[in-house]
Amino acid sequence: MKTNFTYPLLTGTVTLVVLVTSHNLALALSPQEIVKIGSPMTVQVNPPMGVKDGGSGVIIQRQGNTYTVLTCNHVALMPAPHTIRTHDGQSYAVVSTEKLQKSPNDPDLALVTFSSAAVYPVAKLAPSNVPVGAEIFVMGFPALDRKFGADRDFVFSPGFVTSRPSSAPEGYTLRYNSVTKGGMSGGPVFDIDGRVVGIHGLGGSDRVDVKQQGSDATMAVNMKTGFNGAIPINTFLAMRSQIPQAPAVAVDTAPSTDKPAQRLENPKSASDFFAKGSVERDRGDRSRAIANYTQAIARNPNYADAYYQRGNARYDQGDKQGALADYDQALKFDPNYANAYYQRAVILYNRGNKQEALSSFDRYITLVPNDAQAYHSRGAIRRSMGDGQGTFDDFDRVVRLEPDNSRAYYNRALARTMLRDSKGALDDFSHALNLDPSWTTVYNNRAILRRRLGDRQGAVDDFSKVISIEPKNAEAHYNRGLVRRDLGDRQGAIEDLQLAANIFQQKNDSTNYQKALEKIESIQAMPVIPAVPAPVVTPTTTSPSDNSTNLNQPTNSQPTNTQPTNSGDSGNIPESAAPAQPENNSTW
């Protein structure tokens, strides 16, 4: 999955020129022939063991003993030192890296070089504009079945081009329905003539809030769209003027033997209808997509991909029962169809069947062990079920996978409060704030925990920070007023509570407006006595009494019981605890 790393690049210069060839292509190659061509030139790009899954790349040039590999920039930015592992099992140190993505809007591409006396084949690049409906093959090394780095196995995933957007973030304007996984980023996309037409790097997903039936509980997830993306080779070739002193790359300008227009206009085979269904769905016509997927299944009743994609189309239409049935069928014919387990888990959660949802996430994570979103979703369900240790284990894994993700630390902090690990929770809240200094929810929760532990001044400081960012935050004024009361600052407490009351009144929140006024009256009636030090207490996971708020509330952690009422249930999965999405969905 793509992450914005800040690790240094290796130094060096890669140069490039183009050698153009053109010849008549007689017959399209079989998938087996394409794999025979593509597998020897597809390589792993690996960071140090245990750091990340690693990525993929394709050899595009040889000059003497120096080979040049084209890959994604987000792969090249993984922690150094990198190694290249070739199809024969040999590993070579990366000699140089050239980042072609100079700004966030530039295409997500990079070149790396390695040195070897062995002879490896070099890819032919096809500069044609690959049309919608064209058959393609994505190759790479996914991190599946708990295999990482150099242990990953080569796979190829067939599919069809479903759309060609005129523009897209980071150059991903080649979309297709091939199934891809983490570790395949940077891998080549081949046409049916055995030529590289793109560099894979984007796994499509949509951020959605899934509500559990019969409850106010929601869970933010990234639903798999079934569409993935590559940067066309045309884009890379257009950038060659940025790369000085070029060694040659082979460009084949011969027309493709594929006939995508015929496939879409007059579909006959199961794969033709599957292609047409995916194109229709990418256009937004779900009914036609379902009809075409159904035709594909009629011609091939064991077509797992067709069941999966029809399930996605049905989910898009709101037919979750039909989608679940299709995902189950996909798993019947392919028990290792990881994405079907993921989508199935989300629907089961929506239906309130948390235990079955957990089982589906378990199976998905077994197959795709480094998907941070899956750990987040499973951790959120475990938290809603009161499983503190399981919640911690999942969010601890998210932290390890995404160490620069402030949401990961926040969620782990909430898990630590379930385990009564107050110090660890404070550390995680603080780490989240170091990464996101303006996140008021974290200041609020850290203030609550500090107050419970007797650090009243620290709690005041955190509530004050919330108010400096959100002056109209009634809950922060209310809570700071209570802590000031505990510190003996009657005047400050009354001022805060009056401000809270005014804001509640402006929001037409009569219940909390009255509660704030009642607190003011109780403080005014109190005798003036010196403040006493607060006892140090251990936070609990149950709703606190009168003067505390609950760390296990959603991030708008409003007071409960005799304080202003919370708008959500204390067992809810916090929406704001969802992982941050720093760029264009997730990248595989």
Q: Would you list the DSSP string of 414-435?
A: HHHHHTT-HHHHHHHHHHHHHH
Q: Which residues pair with 91 in a beta bridge?
A: 85
* CATH 1.25.40.10, domain 422-575, yes or no: yes
Three-state DSSP class for residue 122: coil
3-state DSSP helix/strand/coil % of the chain, to nearest 5? 40, 20, 40
Element (H, E) at 76: helix 73-76
The CATH architecture one would assign to domain 17-255 is Beta Barrel (2.40)
Residue 145 confidence (pLDDT): 67
What residue spans define the domains of the chain? Answer: 17-255, 422-575
| Residue 526 exposure: Cα atoms within 13 Å on the Cβ side | 18
Length of the chain: 588
Q: Where are the alpha helices (DSSP H) in 242-387?
A: 260-265, 270-283, 286-299, 304-316, 320-333, 338-350, 354-367, 372-384
Q: Which residues pair with 205 in a beta bridge?
A: 224
Which residue is listed with tokens 């993984």? 78
Structure tokens at 336: 């290792």
DSSP category for residue 207:
E
Which residue is listed with tokens 């990953």? 152
Say how far residue 248 (Cα) sits from the centre of its chain.
Answer: 37
Structure tokens at 231: 């940067």
Distances in Å between the Cα of 544 and the Cα atoms of 239, 508, 541 are 60, 26, 8
Residue 526 and residue 521: Cα distance in Å, rounded?
9
Q: Classify the phi-psi angles of 186: left when phi > 0, otherwise alpha if psi is within -120 to 50, otherwise beta.
A: left
Sign of CA dihedral 83, 84, 90, 93: negative
Which residue is listed with tokens 């509530």? 463
List the chain residues with pLDDT less than 50: 1-18, 22, 534-588
Residue 431 and residue 424: Cα distance in Å, rounded?
10
